[in-house]
């Protein structure tokens, strides 16, 4: 038999879990300085420093659109 106090206890436990998740996720996001990052490009050749035009950014041409 589920009593009112049982369901209250379950609701409080669920809220406690929810609050821990919210506080934890917020702390995690603040600590890393954000959540969503642009895709990391790998294998960028060292020659880019000497020849910047050899690198092709995803933001080439036309008006620039933020994000990828």
Partner 1 sequence: MTSAPLVRALTCPSCGGAIESHLGAWSTTVVCARCGSTLDARSDPLQILIAADQAAMRTPSIPLGSRGVFEGDAYEAVGWQERQIVVDAEVYRWREFVLFNPYLGFRYLSEYDGHWNFIRPIEGTLPTAETDGVSYAGSTFRHFQNAGATTIRVLGEFPWEVRRDDVVSTSDYVAPPVMLSSEDEDDGTTWSIGAYLEPDEIVTAFDGVALELPPRHGVFANQPSPWASLSRRLWMMGLEAGVVLLLLCGALLFMRQNTQVFRSTYQFVHPTNAPAGDEQAFVTPLFALTGRGNVRLSLRATVDNAWLGAGVTLIDADRGTAFDTGLEVGRYSGVDAGESWSEGSYDATFRIPAVPAGNYYLRIAPEGAASAEYTVSVKRDTPVAWYLLPAILALLVPPLMASIASGSFEHRRWMESDHPPVSSSDEDDDDE
Question: Which residues of the shown chain bind partner 1 in the complex (CB under 8 A)?
Answer: 1, 3-4, 7-8, 11-12, 14-16, 18-19, 22-23, 25-27, 29-46, 48-49, 52-53, 55, 57-60, 63-68
Q: From the CB of 58, what's the least distance to partner 1, in Å?
A: 5
Could you identify the residue written with the tokens 């620039």?
A: 64
Q: How open is the CA angle 63-44-36, to the nearest 5 degrees?
A: 60
Block residue for tokens 């659109």: 65
Supply the minimum distance, in Å, between the C-beta of residue 47 and partner 1: 11
Quote the least distance from Cβ 20 to partner 1, whole Å.
8
**Cβ neighbours around 55 below 10 Å, total:** 13
């Amino acid at each position: 038999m589920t009593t009112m106090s049982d369901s209250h206890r379950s609701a409080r436990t669920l809220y406690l879990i929810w609050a821990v998740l919210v506080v934890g996720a917020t702390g995690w996001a603040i600590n890393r300085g954000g959540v969503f990052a642009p895709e990391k490009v790998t294998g960028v050749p060292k020659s880019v420093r000497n020849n910047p035009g050899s690198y092709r950014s995803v933001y080439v041409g036309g008006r620039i659109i933020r994000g990828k």
